Structure 1
Amino acid sequence: MKKRLLLLAVLVHTVTLVFAQTPTKFNIKGIAIDSGNAVMPFATVMLLQPKDSTLVNFGRTDENGAFEFKNVKKANYILKISFVGYIPFQIDVKPVDGAVNDLGQLKLKPIAKELMEVVVKTARAPLNIKGDTIEYNAASFKVPPGSSVEDLLRKLPGVQIDQDGNIKAQGQDVKKVTVDGKSFFGNDPKAATKNLPADAITKIQIFNDKSEQAKATGVDDGKKEKTVNLELKDDFKKGGFGKVTAALGTDERAELKGNYNRFDTKQQFSVLGLGNNINQTGISRDDFQDFRGSQANNWGDEADFGFSSGVRFFYDNDTEESISIPVGGRNFQGFSENYAGGANYNYDTKKTKFSSNYYYNQTQQLVSKKSERENFLSNNNSFKTDEDSYQNRISRNHRVSLRFEQQIDSLNTLVLIGNGRMGDGTTKFNSLQEIYRNGSTTKSNQTTINNFNEFNSTAIALIGLYRHKFKKKGRNFAASVTYNYNISDGEASQSSVNELFGAPVGSIPANINQINFTNSPRNLVKSSLLFVEPLSKKFFSETFYNFSLRRDAVDRNVQTTDGIRIDSLSNYYNNDFMFNRFGTNVRYNHKGVNISFGLAAQHFHFDGNFARSKNATDVQHISRDIFAWIPASSINIDLKNNRYLWADYTKEVSEPAIKDLQPIIDNSNTLYIRVGNPNLLPMSTHRAFVGYNMFNPGSFTNMFFNLNYGYNINQVIYNQTVDPVTLVTTAMPTNISGGQNLGSYLGFGFPLKKTKSTLNLNAGTNISKNLIYINNVLNTTRNNNYNFGFRLDLTPSDKFTFYANGNFGITNTKYSINTTQNQQIFNHTLGAEMNIALPAGIYFSSNLNYRISKNERFGFNQHIPILYASMYKILGKAKKAEIRLSGYDLLKKNIGINQYAYQNFVSTEQTQTLSRYFMLSFTYNMRGVSAKMRRQGWF
């Protein structure tokens, strides 16, 4: 036995010596120098596999031109070094006996004309780092045939895409994606990433772009916008390419979608379309807003000069809809049938730029919902509302957008912008509401609602911009004129039956049957002037003037079903709102330090007329003048080496919404009566913001931090009066000061192993103080929200990828008037996505989304796992076709759950939505574009 133990010990010692003498990993190091033997700091260094040039590791040289790859697996490699203005250096690296392979000094030669061919042949490095710009060679990052640009971006080091398609690069949100430097279906990043094929792309460039105003004036304002540019392969600029998909499934599910693109050096043309009944509401999350008929607050017209603080226009979300073109993609609650289609055309030369697009979408959405809401009153009283509701909404929208830019000469530029929208639809809404007092199981009230609405809306925005650069460098002038027109028409029939138990008859109306006719036109004319004067090489003044005149009218005619006018609910209202602002801003800009301080004088003039009808003689007139000083300051510091620090302070003034100013009674919900208030004042908000961003292109480590604070003066809130007998709530908008919000965010990302795995961590807090009067008693609601999240990207090979993410949210809510109802809400989500390449051109993918919602105070605890999986095969020698079998919600657990607490209530909603089904789909990629095609035109 002792001999066996001795022999075993000898064998273990021998094996240990063998492994110690022949390590499986080693280090590779060297020094990059130029032809004059000077060291080359911050050159890009890459380690590639010889067989297919797959990127194994990468980094940058330090200040002394030195680099080192540690603990590299012993194998043959290609080492490539690139630097702007030099021929890329390439050398074969083989394993050595020792632990370190010192390559010594590696000399790069400057580019000469006669060496350009050599450069072209050797420049296809997987990535190049030039300052704050990273350029990826798309061919070096393998994705399955038929993949979209979104799939390609997932493979790039330093880039993350969440389950909704939102893009982060170097730790920051990507604001814009362009194709060959041109916009694609507007400015939403998802338009290109979801609709263009990965194999059409030769390069991806990620960089910090300047703001539009900085580009126009030539004066850097220090603001950066993370941008991705997709550069097309030459072959895809000489013909058409696209994709079409048809699918059929169980439960009569079906989908048809496709896109076609035709690009060249000057022109881009794309069309796309879809039809489905699987809750894909178009190609945008903005389509969801169309269900509610909402209006985007700002149209991004680039026509308001001066610092961004000052007046903000908020429009009535009940009567208006978005003028922007939707472009994302997402499942929503309920059941929807959707049709959409659009076209995009761009023409771009050095002097003339023209872009246009048209988009149509139609959606029918069915929503069946159960909700529970508890309202807290003073003296520890409360009441609970249980509601079963059903909504059937049909929405149709046309959108068109045009932009023309002409460089008249080297000093003058003219820009013309037009946006238009037409929409119509119908909504049928049925609801049963039951109210219980103080936790009782006996009903206090019951209301049955049956409403039907028809609506039409039209919106037009026309903008003219003129920019002039003087011969003196830095001196600029710009002028803009804008005209907006919006009109909404609606007819709503309202029927409700009210029952009040244990209270005198007549306490509330037993039945309501009425028809509401509403016409709401709006006109807005505004203009801006900007003059930039260089005070010295480092200082600039920016003087601006803003003017706007908005005229609104609302004609609301409420009748009984017999056609008799109800004067108490009818109303005519018109309003003129004039705004003038004059200010100046002094900016210091030198060596990456950008500091500005500005002050503006702002004047509001408000004229309003109110009457029961348009032809009434008893008109109530309101006239009001409000003056305010608007300060603004900002600091943006480029700390070099891709580190940025910034801080801002602004004061914003926003006018009340039209629906809040109208002195009318809205009884569309007989248990919640809304009354307007024509005496509302504009709201002022003081905002402070500080942030820091860092990205190390050598290690691909990034960090992003921000802290923000807001304080509201004359905030518009809805004071509530609850009738103690009927529990009917009457809400009136009122001004109040003291609402606050404090938020913070920290994001940190780093590669666990370069090109193979990346981990991103984030944490955030949001602490808010909300004020509201309940039966004339001030209630202060404090919401303390804490979030922690992570994302793990594993891309070890082109045959397997795995993405995991999680977000853990806790909200503590405290009420001042009813502390017994204080509560803690948990909302957690976990997600995972896996893709596997199997033999014979077969691929498997799956996606799991696990949601946890918990509120112990009300005994609410929901765990909802949603699992999706698909198996697909690539067909044909050209790999143009795909057949796919997909299963959605395989565990049959999908149900829409929402819970939240705000002001004086807590609410929980459960919505029926699309559950388990299977689909078989066929996709054909129109990729057969030959490099031999030499067409000068398109047709």
Structure 2
Amino acid sequence: MNQIFKTFLFLLLLSTCSIAAFSQNGSKIYGIIKDNVNEPLTGATVALRNNADSFVAGTAADIDGNFIINDVPDGSYKMTISYLGYEDYKKTIDIAGSELNLGILKLDPSKGTTLDEVKIVEKAPPVQQKEDTTQFNAGSYKVNPDATAEDLIRKMPGMDLSTGKPQAQGESVTKVLVDGKPFFGDDPSSSLKNLPAEVIDKIQVYDEKSDQSQFTGFDDGNTSKTINIITKPNRKQGVFGKLYAGGGTDGTKDASDNYDAKYNAGGNINYFEGDRRISLIGQSNNINIQNFSSQDLVGISGTSGGRGGGSRGGGPGGGGASSSFTTNQSSGINKTNAVGFNYSDKWGKKVDVTASYFFNNSDNTTTQTTERDFVLPSDAGKIYNDTTLSNAVNNNHRFNMRFNYTIDSFNSLLIVPSLSFQNNNSTSLLNGSTMLNHTDLLNSTINRYSSDKSGNNLSTMLLYRHKFRKQGRTLSLMANGGYNKNDGNSSLFAPVVSEDGIDTTDQQAVSKQHGWNINSNVNYTEPLSKKSFLQVQYGLNYQQSSSDKRTNDFSYITNDYTDLNTALSNKFTTNYITNKGGLTYRYNDTNFNFNIGVDFQNANLDNQRELPQNNAIQRSFNTVLPNARFQYNFSKKKTLRLFYRSSTSAPSVSQLQDVVDNSNPLQISTGNPNLVQTYNNSLFMRYNATNTKNNSTFFAMLSAQNTRDYIANSTIIVNDSTNLNGVVVPAGGQYTRPENMNGYWNFRGFATYGVPINALKSNINGNATLGYVRTPGMVNLQKNYANNTSMGLGLVLSSNISDKIDFTLSTNANYNIIRNTLNTNSNTQYYNQSSRLSLNYIFWKGIAFNTELNHQLYRGLSAAYNQNYLLWNMSLGKKLFKKQQGEIKFSVYDLLKQNNSIATTVTESYIQYTQTNVLQRYFMLTFTYNLRFFKGGASMKDTENNERNGGEQRMFGPPPGAPPGGGPGGPSPGMMPPMD
């Protein structure tokens, strides 16, 4: 912390010195534009003309009404400020210095006659394409009055929430902003579930660049798929949210002959007042509702009994031991208690700050059955099966903050700290066996495993940015540092039965993992002409990770765990340092722009093992890393973007540390200190097109990735009990360690097309996906390539009738073809179709009916895992009170009691099918109260009327008490993402 404080002071000193050190040419004009009730006029246009009435310069106001015009020559000018529905503001100004602060400039509403009896309205287009941003008009998509942002975006083209996590244009959404500012940190699920749809004006989808790239204009490839929610002008000041509480039962009785109770309580309260946004959310339930992200659940993967093998890869619901515990997953039974707080404000004119805090307590119980079929011809007929019962209790505290200080118009400082603390207690009982031809038992184990882990993670990013007087000349300095710790204790009792008899493992282990890193980067940009620029960059990155694991066997002499097992104990430290420097050239024309650059990187990977033997491995790598980016604008509505990037990544300490993990003695794994860094090549293509005549949108994406020295798995499956590196692997058991291999490929294509069907008052959206993954591996020292080809089609039909009736019908069909080069007999293909119908209907005297049907179909899996089931949820409620803020609702979940969960995992050595327990039928009675109070004359009735208008924009005069959205030629309300 002391070092971070010193760095902070250094950057402040540097920013102060730079103001005086750099020469400045031209002048700057700036100010704030507001209306007569002191609300900022986002998008108001500012134009400067000389005495000859020729246009000199112009700009548009940002979300806070601020505007800046740089590099204005000294002289006298006529300034005009325009905004739809307001009188033009005209002023003559004289410039004879470095800057001119005009302060707050207020516009008066138009004095023209408002047509009361004849209204001329213009329907806002549902979708617009603005450079690399796709913008949806929320009023074009009808939802019920109490709908959330999540309900709204389900209807929009290219949006997908079928997995429980938001996806946009074929990619996972990693960030949700509200009016350009973070909302609940980087947790998209919390943001979408807790923001009511009625406050939303527009939804923007784009690839947000890193803070440094946004400033320099040079895309470094570090982007995140982002949704920016723009709130309505008359919803920026008020209190809104909802509170709910419900109770019920699943109809079963416990050991005391009492009915098993189900409960769900919580809510959210939002206070918006201009720049100040305060939000509080909370929940407590035992029905698998969990709004928060998987960051809250570190360490849970250990509850599976430590199943080795390093499985990867696809299939319906597949991938990773912790997939059952992330947001909105149905696997297992979860009890959740959570609370979150979000704060956003502008401190004075120069400081923007956002902060969020989360606490999450999760208690998960999972029962899981697994079948694993091996691909090697010599292992044909071998099948591994297990059943695991596990429980995990996880507690997590997370804090995030973003502090942006605009020192002046040329200098700014961004500070982004984050901090988390968490602990996890888990137990598991695994009953596993390996069979030959389903009849001959090769081995078996009953594995009892428990662990107690705790960890913390601290990181801080500092970014100093300086603009020179010469347009396009910039300097930015970035420093990012972090520290993480994960300590734990575990115990294992596992008798193994094999042809050699019974071998019992009884041990306790203590592990300590620590790591820290610091990354720094310097970027300087220089304009070569009005259209071309050069960037010089240099980066120094250092990462250190250490892991110390001590395993003690039970001693019958001391009657305690005192015998150090050197084969299962290891102390290991890895250091990875890179120096990277290079040049990037950028050209920007009216219809196209491109970047092309190259970096040279020197990397050193040093591994030091102290236990059980002391030895060191040092490696150095010199790498050329080219990059390129191209964007062509066929028109304002059609854009093509290409991006190529090369990069390297170091193996993790868990992959490097050669300590044996025997938490499942039938599936043993270890690390490999001889691993080298991987070299990645990635190519992306994106095409966007919108048609305002028929309000259609089209998006296509292609991606390809190749990895050299890919970290693959080398698996040995033994026929007889074998001693490998001091550990006995029973007959039929498996021993896995990572190896560098070439030949990894990943191709993916995605396309979506959406258009309204006016005859049905609905929107239809179709999508298609195509994927191919080639994963190398070794099985008994023979190379194998697992090839997985996937094809998918999807269709979404969503209503746009009224706010009283809302339905969405969707289906996604996927076909997977799996081919292995070692054993063609293990080749297979399977089909999965997921369909959903959701209907909300509000009819006579506020009675609300809701039904949701989710159908899952699996074909081509092993006989026990082919499924065809329907999850049917239903509710009937009554709106209460004069303004229908309240609702009492009776609901039933899984009416037919058919809910299920299946996952297929494909690796280079096996194909695995997994089935997990899920929440099934229960009944619940719930009371909900919606808070709605907005200042500026926006009552609940105004809200209902506005929703019925369907996003129509009045051409004559703004709504009472609030400015209209968007000025001529300016952006819509809200902060537009920085453009190239």
* Shorter-normalised TM range: 0.7 to 0.9
Residue 768 (str. 1) matches residue 773 (str. 2):
yes
Per-residue deviation, 1:198: 3.5
Per-residue deviation, 1:742: 2.2
Residue 521 (str. 1) matches residue 517 (str. 2):
no
Matched residues in 2 for 1:767 and 1:630: separation?
A: 25
Per-residue deviation, 1:535: 1.0
Instruction: Specify whether residues 750 and 418 from structure 1 end up closer, same or farther in structure 2 by C-alpha distance, changes over 3 A only.
Output: same
Residue 787 (str. 1) matches residue 796 (str. 2):
no
Per-residue deviation, 1:606: 1.9
Instruction: Specify whether residues 748 and 350 from structure 1 end up closer, same or farther in structure 2 by C-alpha distance, changes over 3 A only.
Output: same
Per-residue deviation, 1:464: 1.3
Matched residues in 2 for 1:775 and 1:716: separation?
A: 17
Of 454, 457, 464 in structure 2, the residue corresponding to residue 456 of structure 1 is 454
Bigger mean CA offset, 222-231 vs 252-261 = 222-231
Matched residues in 2 for 1:651 and 1:399: separation?
A: 33
Per-residue deviation, 1:389: 0.7
CA offsets 1:542-587 (integer angstroms, 9 cap, x no match): 1111111112221111112322221221111122211111111111
What is aligned with 2:592?
Answer: 593
Which runs of structure 2 are paired with 1:391-470 in the superposition (5 Å)?
Answer: 391-437=390-436, 439-470=437-468
Which runs of structure 2 are paired with 1:163-562 in the superposition (5 Å)?
Answer: 163=162, 177-201=176-200, 203-204=201-202, 206=204, 211=209, 212-217=211-216, 227-232=227-232, 234=234, 237=237, 239-250=238-249, 251-284=260-293, 287=296, 291-292=300-301, 330-348=328-346, 350-379=349-378, 381-437=380-436, 439-500=437-498, 503-505=499-501, 510-561=503-554, 562=560
Contact 2:144 2:806 survives alignment (8 Å):
no
Q: Which amino acid aligns with 1:532?
A: T
What is aligned with 1:664?
Answer: 659
Q: Which amino acid aligns with 1:472?
A: K
Identity %: 27
Matched residues in 2 for 1:249 and 1:838: separation?
A: 26
Per-residue deviation, 1:344: 0.8
Matched residues in 2 for 1:904 and 1:171: separation?
A: 29
Contact 2:572 2:607 survives alignment (8 Å):
yes
Of 881, 890, 915 in structure 1, the residue corresponding to residue 886 of structure 2 is 881
Per-residue deviation, 1:486: 0.4
Residue 749 (str. 1) matches residue 754 (str. 2):
yes
Per-residue deviation, 1:626: 1.0
Contact 1:787 1:807 survives alignment (8 Å):
yes
Per-residue deviation, 1:118: 5.4
Contact 2:136 2:202 survives alignment (8 Å):
yes
Per-residue deviation, 1:682: 0.8
Per-residue deviation, 1:145: 3.9
Per-residue deviation, 1:114: 7.4
Matched residues in 2 for 1:932 and 1:708: separation?
A: 49
Per-residue deviation, 1:622: 1.4
Bigger mean CA offset, 414-423 vs 145-154 = 145-154
Instruction: Specify whether residues 267 and 704 from structure 1 end up closer, same or farther in structure 2 by C-alpha distance, changes over 3 A only.
Output: same
Contact 2:686 2:699 survives alignment (8 Å):
yes
Bigger mean CA offset, 520-529 vs 210-219 = 210-219
Instruction: Specify whether residues 197 and 119 from structure 1 end up closer, same or farther in structure 2 by C-alpha distance, changes over 3 A only.
Output: farther
Instruction: Specify whether residues 134 and 704 from structure 1 end up closer, same or farther in structure 2 by C-alpha distance, changes over 3 A only.
Output: closer
Matched residues in 2 for 1:414 and 1:198: separation?
A: 34
Instruction: Specify whether residues 275 and 114 from structure 1 end up closer, same or farther in structure 2 by C-alpha distance, changes over 3 A only.
Output: closer
Q: Which amino acid aligns with 2:230?
A: L
Per-residue deviation, 1:520: 1.0
What is aligned with 2:856?
Answer: 851
Of 808, 813, 818 in structure 2, the residue corresponding to residue 808 of structure 1 is 813
Q: Which amino acid aligns with 1:230?
A: I
Per-residue deviation, 1:231: 2.0
Instruction: Specify whether residues 916 and 148 from structure 1 end up closer, same or farther in structure 2 by C-alpha distance, changes over 3 A only.
Output: same
The alignment yields a C-alpha RMSD, in angstroms, of 3.2
Q: Which amino acid aligns with 2:514?
A: P
Per-residue deviation, 1:713: 1.1
What is aligned with 1:679?
Answer: 674
Structure 2 SS opposite 1:282: coil
Structure 2 SS opposite 1:423: strand
What is aligned with 1:313?
Answer: none
Q: Which amino acid aligns with 1:127?
A: A
Contact 2:385 2:434 survives alignment (8 Å):
yes
What is aligned with 1:127?
Answer: 124
Instruction: Specify whether residues 915 and 289 from structure 1 end up closer, same or farther in structure 2 by C-alpha distance, changes over 3 A only.
Output: farther
Per-residue deviation, 1:668: 1.4
Instruction: Specify whether residues 263 and 382 from structure 1 end up closer, same or farther in structure 2 by C-alpha distance, changes over 3 A only.
Output: same
What is aligned with 1:62?
Answer: none
CA offsets 1:327-384 (integer angstroms, 9 cap, x no match): x952421111101101111112542101111100010100011111111223463410
Per-residue deviation, 1:188: 4.2
TM-score, length basis structure 1: 0.78
Contact 1:765 1:786 survives alignment (8 Å):
yes
Contact 1:842 1:872 survives alignment (8 Å):
yes
Which runs of structure 2 are paired with 1:555-574 in the superposition (5 Å)?
Answer: 555-561=548-554, 562=560, 563-574=562-573
Contact 1:150 1:165 survives alignment (8 Å):
no
Matched residues in 2 for 1:810 and 1:479: separation?
A: 48
Residue 719 (str. 1) matches residue 714 (str. 2):
yes
Matched residues in 1 for 2:173 and 2:113: separation?
A: 35
Matched residues in 2 for 1:685 and 1:210: separation?
A: 22
Per-residue deviation, 1:709: 1.9
Contact 2:430 2:448 survives alignment (8 Å):
yes
Q: Which amino acid aligns with 1:830?
A: S
Per-residue deviation, 1:399: 0.2
Contact 1:380 1:818 survives alignment (8 Å):
no
Structure 1 SS opposite 2:193: helix
What is aligned with 2:867?
Answer: 862
CA offsets 1:836-877 (integer angstroms, 9 cap, x no match): 122110111111111111226657421121011111111000
Residue 842 (str. 1) matches residue 847 (str. 2):
yes
> Which residues of structure 1 form unaligned runs of 5+?
1-83, 89-111, 295-316, 935-939
Q: Which amino acid aligns with 2:477?
A: A
Instruction: Specify whether residues 627 and 173 from structure 1 end up closer, same or farther in structure 2 by C-alpha distance, changes over 3 A only.
Output: closer
Instruction: Specify whether residues 218 and 809 from structure 1 end up closer, same or farther in structure 2 by C-alpha distance, changes over 3 A only.
Output: closer
CA offsets 1:458-497 (integer angstroms, 9 cap, x no match): 1000121100001110000000112200011010001101
Per-residue deviation, 1:281: 2.4
Q: Which amino acid aligns with 2:516?
A: N
Structure 2 SS opposite 1:253: strand
CA offsets 1:681-701 (integer angstroms, 9 cap, x no match): 111122222232211123121
Instruction: Specify whether residues 452 and 159 from structure 1 end up closer, same or farther in structure 2 by C-alpha distance, changes over 3 A only.
Output: closer
Structure 2 SS opposite 1:186: coil
Matched residues in 2 for 1:769 and 1:205: separation?
A: 36
What is aligned with 1:896?
Answer: 901
Count residues with an aligned counterpart.
789
TM-score, length basis structure 2: 0.75
Instruction: Specify whether residues 774 and 483 from structure 1 end up closer, same or farther in structure 2 by C-alpha distance, changes over 3 A only.
Output: same
Instruction: Specify whether residues 252 and 392 from structure 1 end up closer, same or farther in structure 2 by C-alpha distance, changes over 3 A only.
Output: same
Structure 2 SS opposite 1:523: strand
Q: Which amino acid aligns with 2:370?
A: S
Residue 703 (str. 1) matches residue 712 (str. 2):
no
Contact 1:282 1:338 survives alignment (8 Å):
no
Per-residue deviation, 1:752: 2.2
Structure 2 SS opposite 1:666: coil
Matched residues in 1 for 2:381 and 2:450: separation?
A: 31
